[in-house]
Structure 1
Amino acid sequence: MIDLQIVAELQIVFADIPDALFSLETIADCEGDLEDAAMTLAIRAGQQPDITNSEWLDGLAKKCRVAICRSEFRNDMVDGNFLPLFEHFVNTKVCPQLLILPVLLYAHECGVNRFCQPLDPL
């Protein structure tokens, strides 16, 4: 669950990006439940998730892990600054735009360093 205060703060940051705002509104409508919001947004984006909410979002986040864990974005993610990576995802089309913030928030909620650990050198 994401704190709705964080969602409100991000709505200010992403005020000029309609898809991001829609994603944040959906997260708020789901009372901060990222998995429920991601399923709703996935269907709206034309995806057909067919496994449980948490497994589907986890799988999507893992597909995006290489981008999330890039050194130029990792510190921003740790600090909760999602805009640089959001813009990178939009430009590279890593995943549907409606799903970017749920994925980034999921990775942040998991703990960015722990989420990125499988890609870290030994």
Structure 2
Amino acid sequence: MSMIVTLEEINYFRTDLSEYPDALIALDVLEDCEGDLDDAAIALAIQCGQQPDTSDRWIDGLAKRWRHIICQPELKEPFEDGLSGDVLAALTTNTDLPIKLATPVAIYVIKVGAVNFCKPLEEKL
């Protein structure tokens, strides 16, 4: 089942990320995909030169690839406060994700909840 981001949420994110042109492009793609986070992430990945291997829950797999980074306390805390330029900067600094792809990953983690997203990693430790 796809995760849907409402137009209201997209507009809220636009306000918070107004100084990040690539994040705004990602939000435009998300809006064009009618809020479907998976579809938008795949379209953005293709724009960034990646070749997604599946269309089902691709954003879930992409986010999980970076869970060990996202769930570090200094990164996890900002995710708990919502989407911001600081979250994107931290994510792109600590991974090789471009802002266009970091944006849907950040939205995914925020919508799932940073605590819930990080729970499987914490249970292993």
Q: Pick the TM interval, shorter chain.
A: 0.7 to 0.9
Residues 42-53 of structure 1 mapped to structure 2, 5 A cutoff: 42-53=45-56
- Give the paired residue count: 121
TM-score, normalising length from structure 1? Answer: 0.88
Task: Tell me which residue corresponds to 2:86.
Answer: 84
Percentage of identical aligned residues: 38
Using the alignment, how far apart are the partners of 1:92 and 1:112 within structure 2?
17
Listed as ranges, the gaps of 5+ residues in structure 1 are none
Task: Tell me which residue corresponds to 1:111.
Answer: 113
Structure 1 runs of 4+ off > 3 angstroms? none
Using the alignment, how far apart are the partners of 1:93 and 1:119 within structure 2?
18
Listed as ranges, the gaps of 5+ residues in structure 2 are none
Question: Shift of the alpha carbon at 1:75?
Answer: 2.8
Using the alignment, how far apart are the partners of 1:2 and 1:21 within structure 2?
15
Are the counterparts in 2 of residues 64 and 94 from structure 1 also a CA contact under 8 Å?
no
Task: Tell me which residue corresponds to 1:4.
Answer: 7
What letter is aligned with 1:87? A
Using the alignment, how far apart are the partners of 1:6 and 1:35 within structure 2?
16
Are the counterparts in 1 of residues 10 and 27 from structure 2 also a CA contact under 8 Å?
yes
Q: Which moved more, 1:78-87 or 1:107-116?
A: 78-87
Residues 1-80 of structure 1 mapped to structure 2, 5 A cutoff: 1-54=4-57, 56-80=58-82
TM-score, normalising length from structure 2? Answer: 0.86
